[in-house]
Structure 1
Amino acid sequence: MTRHLKMYINGEWVASSSETTVNVIDPATQEVIAVASNTTKEETEEAIKTAKRTFESGVWSDLLPQERASVLRKIAEKMEDNENTLIDLEVQNNGKTKREADSDVQDAINCFRYYADLLNTTSDQTYEASEDLQTLIVKEPIGTAGLIVPWNFPLLMSVWKIAPALAAGNTIILKPAEITPLTAVKLFELMDETDLPKGVANLILGLGSEAGQTISESKDVDIVSFTGSTAVGRHIMKAATGNMKKVSLEMGGKSPNIIFDDADLDTAVDYALFGIYMGAGQVCTSGSRILVQEGIYDKFVKNYIERAKAIKVGPGHDENAEMGAIVSQKHLENILEYVQIGKEEGAHLALGGSKIKSGELEKGLFFEPTIFTNVTNDMRIVQEEIFGPIVTIQKFKDEDDAIKTANDTDYGLAGAVFSKDQNKALRLIKKIRAGITWVNTYHLTDEQAPWGGYKQSGIGRSLGTYGLDEYQETKQININLAPEPIHWFE
């Protein structure tokens, strides 16, 4: 029997009155595994009102930081007790490999614990502004937070927003991507088993164009935090102007991976593969543009193609699978469209470019690791985010050429440099206009480090102390230590 998903509002699981639904599928089989209702505008507004009312009651925001930290740790413990279930749901609903899902779940657990520990430190300041004036700088919760998360990391992206928002003392309304809600639903089931007060965390389901729009426009929402495409991010930013709410946006990327002649070739090839094919390229920080210095270009391309040919594509539950499925038929068609665009632009399709239609993979949404060479920076496949297992490989002459090419894009999310010359690598990495960068590695990061981009890759930062700051207001309190008339007007 197909599972029908419910909303979670004011501590209760509630069925939507909407007659329209979204089928939740397993990308590896295209079988329907659940059905989610498109939450109505009125239901979304009710969730928002609940969150606002709960915030104003102080039942969560007035707790001591240590008390909120205790709840966050309990959520982490519940997740740890149910990690296999969370992994299986992520594999089934998103199509990623079990190894990737395992990593995501562990990172999500660590994220809750990180923010619980962070609450034991203080960011308040005090100083003497003058002889009789004491000034305090304190951080307070913003209020009601609308959290909109994407389909590529359904659980982890939810936690990256939920953990700091709750740690800061806010109440939340979470809207997961309509096609990947299963781990968010399970997470709320686990949160419901803790002593998190009713109304603090609310979950709505449905389309971004409806539920997400309502959150973005609402004057009762004090911050909207969104991760997804740049196009949708722009729309949310416009919608949020109604009450000038704070906006935190982590959006698209077209990240350069610069490889110099003096780089260790095996290491560079290995990380360049990981940079694009991890998550089947459905990762905002993917190294989708490989820039190789002309001295090793031919050798790099040859080695890279041979390695890419050997990648084992398969369903996430297959322990040997190295790259999983594309999340949806709609997205697979978008990827195919970009393959055709690349061909029409004159790029050379060196590998792949097709949906896999053989054997047990035929019924699923599996795509070949794909490589384009003979590309130029004005091509759409170089400039636009494809969000799939497609990489372009370009040649460059020297440092100036590498940086000019790397920064010639509207995006600025991530980038990497590979070189045995650490001085050169550091010199180049400082010139890359991006918020997340690596030297002789790719994708590896930690919840303590800020996450976000330059230019059209976003506004604000997730994770680390910066992530907590996103959900706080800063207030100054001035105390007169010797009150007496000021005699300003005589």
Structure 2
Amino acid sequence: MSLETLANFVDGAFCPPVGGAYWETENPYTAEAWGLVPRSGAEDVERAVVAAKKAFRHGPWPTMAPSQRGAALYGIADVVARNAEELARIEVRDNGKTFKEMFAQVKRIPDWYRFFGGLADKLNGAVLPSDRPGHMNYVRHEPLGVIAMVTPWNSPLMLLAWKLAPALAAGNTAVVKPSEFTSASALRFAELVFEAGLPQGVLNVVTGLGSEAGAALVAHPDVAKVAFTGGVGGGRAVYSAAAGGLKPVSLELGGKSPNIVFEDADMEMAARGVVAGIFGSGGQSCVAGSRLVVQRSIHDRFVARIVELTEKIRLGDPMAPETDIGPVATRPQFERIMTCIGWAKEDGARLATGGVQVPDPSGGKALFVAPTIFTGVRNDMRIAQEEVFGPVLAVIPFDDEAEAVAIANDSAFGLGAGLWTRDVARVHRVAAEIEAGSVWVNTYKITSQTSPFGGYKASGLGREGGVEMIADYLQTKSVWLNLTDEVPYGFPL
């Protein structure tokens, strides 16, 4: 079978990598290579950054009225909506998630471009009250320049939209380095939005390894800001590299999110929320509710119910409508998950269900892991502290509210947390005490373009979403005007 050869998208056109190097990309379900992806290097990054800088300084983008930029983002929303099924199919082929999940996700993406498109002409400056007689002082908000965006493999276009929509609304241009495992959807997206009228060079996509293309992009002197989503190790590397150029960064990293279930919760609603919170997306989500912190008085009954629900989860072909979980996206991730399961067993956790590789239901070579639940977990165990990024739930009992909060906060991470209770006063007490960027009450993993999302501690820096977040893609300039006929002179002034 001949493989499709992909190309970088730079300055409004596809172009092969300068060095001529490629690697094969596989469909996780068929375990077959379907395409050749450019293994780009510093020269490819240079070409993309030059194009983005040129588009930022010259041409139609910098001269557009803010309302015209907003209209361009509405155009992006429309083109994504028209091509949602195609884009979702590309993502399934690359990361193995179910089509029903990726299609639903892609259909939400236009909301981000419309929301931030609507903000493009509302980035108001201000005239400040001046304590200097005869002088006027006002503030302008201006775009930063070329934004480097590094995106992960689990939700490629959605997490790109979280960065690209506010960046473009603010007037910046972008160079995107998608995950080496899921490059195809970003390339197709760039082609579609260029055909829909986004000016040449405003959006560029360069594929490659993080240690090669990614490192060159982050360190490039003409990159003004870096927006990264990925693991903690990658985030640290990006933060360190960006520091050399004193560049602002936003980092959306990992999590070990607690789902706290109190004895007064609606048991069935909580059980379904906990199971969906960890096993949705096969656990391959930064906000997966991978720690179940459950009150001891209901522990056994609650665990029995979630085991029952878990054992009904259907694994298989991600394109089949009846499938709940597709294969693990990559072999390195599969090996990571199995290693973490081994840790739990070594440390004395009790396996309630799962914990093994499941043969491919189609008889092929796809990598499946049975949805796994461990009980008898202490919060100091590796399975409770390390991000697995797979379908593995650690169950930790607690006796009272103070202990629940202490367990939840005893983590290097702080991305999300769930809280299941009917006690309204407890809701507000615990939500205030939890160290996490998002707290969901009697629900889990809800996000919106209207609300900020991000983490505490090792879960990252900055936020994505919400009106205020567009400020992360702007810089502030103070302008002073002398309204008199005199020039101040003297030492000191």
Please indicate, yes or no, whether the TM-score normalized by the shorter chain is above 0.5: yes
Give 2:211's aligned residue: 209
Structure 2 counterpart of 1:89, one-letter code: I
Give 1:248's aligned residue: 250
Task: Work out the CA distance in 1 between the residues paired with 2:84 and 2:235.
Answer: 31
Q: Secondary structure at the match of 1:387?
A: coil
Contact 1:294/1:396, CA 8 A, preserved across alignment: yes
Superposed CA deviations along residues 51-102 of structure 1, whole A, max 9, x for unmatched, are 1232222631332111111111111111111111112112221111122112
Give 1:169's aligned residue: 171
Task: Work out the CA distance in 2 between the residues paired with 1:406 and 1:191.
Answer: 42
Q: Secondary structure at the match of 1:266?
A: helix
**1:59 correspondence with 2:60:** yes
Task: Work out the CA distance in 2 between the residues paired with 1:22 and 1:462.
Answer: 32
Task: Work out the CA distance in 1 between the residues paired with 2:23 and 2:246.
Answer: 32
Deviation at 1:263, TM superposition (A): 0.5
Give 1:294's aligned residue: 296
Q: Secondary structure at the match of 1:304?
A: helix
Q: Secondary structure at the match of 2:418?
A: strand
Pair 1:483–1:323, CA change in 2 (3 A): farther
Deviation at 1:19, TM superposition (A): 4.3
Contact 1:29/1:365, CA 8 A, preserved across alignment: no
Deviation at 1:442, TM superposition (A): 0.1
Deviation at 1:264, TM superposition (A): 0.5
**1:220 correspondence with 2:222:** yes
Contact 1:371/1:392, CA 8 A, preserved across alignment: yes
Identical amino acids, percent of aligned pairs? 37
Contact 2:416/2:437, CA 8 A, preserved across alignment: yes
Task: Work out the CA distance in 2 between the residues paired with 1:138 and 1:124.
Answer: 5
Structure 2 counterpart of 1:54, one-letter code: A
Give 1:123's aligned residue: 124
Larger deviation: 150-159 or 115-124?
Answer: 115-124
Task: Work out the CA distance in 1 between the residues paired with 2:364 and 2:145.
Answer: 48
Give 1:312's aligned residue: 314
Pair 1:23–1:114, CA change in 2 (3 A): same
Which residue, 244, 259, 262 being the options, matches 1:260? 262
Give 1:94's aligned residue: 95
Superposed CA deviations along residues 308-367 of structure 1, whole A, max 9, x for unmatched, are 000111222110111222101121111111111111111111111122115316531222
Task: Work out the CA distance in 2 between the residues paired with 1:181 and 1:150.
Answer: 10
Superposed CA deviations along residues 247-297 of structure 1, whole A, max 9, x for unmatched, are 111111111111101000001101101111111111001110010011111
Task: Work out the CA distance in 1 between the residues paired with 2:355 and 2:295.
Answer: 25
Pair 1:122–1:40, CA change in 2 (3 A): closer
Structure 2 counterpart of 1:479, one-letter code: L
Q: Secondary structure at the match of 1:262?
A: coil
Superposed CA deviations along residues 136-167 of structure 1, whole A, max 9, x for unmatched, are 22211011110000000011111111111111
Q: Secondary structure at the match of 1:90?
A: helix
Give 1:475's aligned residue: 477
Contact 2:229/2:252, CA 8 A, preserved across alignment: yes
Give 1:443's aligned residue: 445
Contact 1:416/1:429, CA 8 A, preserved across alignment: no
Structure 2 counterpart of 1:380, one-letter code: R
Task: Work out the CA distance in 2 between the residues paired with 1:220 and 1:278.
Answer: 39
CA RMSD of aligned residues (A): 1.5
Structure 2 counterpart of 1:38, one-letter code: R
Q: Secondary structure at the match of 2:121?
A: coil
Task: Work out the CA distance in 1 between the residues paired with 2:363 and 2:393.
Answer: 22
Output aligned runs, 1:45-444, within 5 Å: 45-57=46-58, 59-130=60-131, 132-357=134-359, 359-360=361-362, 362-444=364-446
List alignment gaps of at least 5 residues for structure 1.
Answer: none
Q: Secondary structure at the match of 2:241?
A: helix
Pair 1:271–1:483, CA change in 2 (3 A): farther
Task: Work out the CA distance in 1 between the residues paired with 2:75 and 2:331.
Answer: 38
Q: Secondary structure at the match of 1:452?
A: coil
Structure 2 counterpart of 1:413, one-letter code: L
Output aligned runs, 1:12-51, within 5 Å: 12-51=13-52
Structure 2 counterpart of 1:23, one-letter code: E
Q: Secondary structure at the match of 2:447?
A: coil
Contact 1:61/1:141, CA 8 A, preserved across alignment: no
Task: Work out the CA distance in 1 between the residues paired with 2:216 and 2:83.
Answer: 33
Q: Secondary structure at the match of 1:475?
A: strand
Superposed CA deviations along residues 192-224 of structure 1, whole A, max 9, x for unmatched, are 202222111111011011011001111111101
Superposed CA deviations along residues 22-66 of structure 1, whole A, max 9, x for unmatched, are 221111111112110201211112211221232222631332111
Contact 1:161/1:462, CA 8 A, preserved across alignment: yes
Pair 1:100–1:361, CA change in 2 (3 A): farther
Task: Work out the CA distance in 2 between the residues paired with 1:483 and 1:270.
Answer: 73
Task: Work out the CA distance in 1 between the residues paired with 2:39 and 2:468.
Answer: 33
Task: Work out the CA distance in 2 between the residues paired with 1:358 and 1:204.
Answer: 33
Contact 2:8/2:206, CA 8 A, preserved across alignment: yes
Task: Work out the CA distance in 2 between the residues paired with 1:115 and 1:10.
Answer: 23
Q: Secondary structure at the match of 1:391?
A: strand
Structure 2 counterpart of 1:50, one-letter code: A
Structure 2 counterpart of 1:191, one-letter code: V
Task: Work out the CA distance in 2 between the residues paired with 1:104 and 1:418.
Answer: 25
Contact 1:219/1:242, CA 8 A, preserved across alignment: no
Task: Work out the CA distance in 1 between the residues paired with 2:120 and 2:38.
Answer: 37
Structure 1 counterpart of 2:61, one-letter code: W
List alignment gaps of at least 5 residues for structure 2.
Answer: none
Task: Work out the CA distance in 1 between the residues paired with 2:482 and 2:58.
Answer: 30
Larger deviation: 128-137 or 178-187?
Answer: 128-137
The TM-score, its normalising length taken from structure 1, stands at 0.97
Deviation at 1:370, TM superposition (A): 0.6
Q: Secondary structure at the match of 1:470?
A: helix
Contact 1:22/1:179, CA 8 A, preserved across alignment: no
Q: Secondary structure at the match of 2:410?
A: coil
Deviation at 1:488, TM superposition (A): 4.1
Contact 2:316/2:361, CA 8 A, preserved across alignment: no
Task: Work out the CA distance in 2 between the residues paired with 1:223 and 1:17.
Answer: 25
* Equivalenced residues, count: 490
Task: Work out the CA distance in 1 between the residues paired with 2:371 and 2:44.
Answer: 42
